[in-house]
Copies of this chain bind each other. A is one copy, B any other.
Amino acid sequence: MPRMSAEELEQFLYSHFPDSAHRAFRVERVDEMFAQVRMHFDKRHLRPGGTISGPSLMTLSDTAMYMALLGMIGPVGLAVTTNLNINFLRKPAQVDVIAECKLLKLGKRLAVGEVTMYSEGDADPVAHATLTYSIPPGPL
């Protein structure tokens, strides 16, 4: 069972990352080893040709992983990304992107997750990422 609700996670996110980019994110669902995060469509995330930019999708995947992890271990600020591998699969449409993160491993020192990202209303993924977080030693 997750230790934090979607609302608590979104509050944590906004209080720790007060920049505008993260304002586009909504934590829609958390579950056992799982989180779903929506990135609202925003013209500022476009790159030439009208595509949602790669860095926006990378930030989204990182945020979805962070939410899935904190959902399980609680509001630990010091977990950090150590590796991110992302494949860009299709040109995203100019709509919201939904990221689904599944934790593959939650160890004492490392957590690994995979994130599949979809344009709203399309079953074919636009990007897929795997991420590793290092979890600080502590009172867990």
Residues of A near any B CB (own CB < 8 A) = 16-17, 19, 21, 44, 47-49, 54-55, 58-59, 62, 77-78, 80-90, 104-105, 109-110, 112, 114, 116, 124-125, 128, 130, 132, 134
Given A58-B58, A130-B87, does the pair A48, B81 have CB atoms closer than 8 Å?
Answer: no
B77–A89 contact, CB under 8 A?
Answer: no
With both beta carbons as reference points, the residue of chain B lying nearest to A44 in the complex is identified as: B19
Other-chain residue from B81, B112, B134 in contact with A110 (beta carbon distance below 8 A): B134
Cross-chain contact of A132 among B81, B83, B104 (Cβ < 8 A): B83
Which one, B109, B112, B128, contacts A130 given CB within 8 A?
A: B128
Closest to A131 in B: B87
Beta-carbon contact of B89 and A112 below 8 Å:
yes
Contact of A87 among B55, B83, B87 (CB under 8 A): B83
How many whole Å from A130's CB to the nearest CB in chain B? 6
Partner of A88, one of B54, B82, B87, B125: B82
A and B contact pairs by CB, cutoff 8 A, 12 listed:
A16-B47, A48-B77, A55-B55, A81-B88, A83-B87, A83-B88, A84-B86, A85-B86, A104-B116, A104-B128, A112-B128, A114-B128
A85 engages B130 (CB within 8 Å): yes
Q: Whole-angstrom distance between the alpha carbons of A58 and B53 in the complex?
A: 12
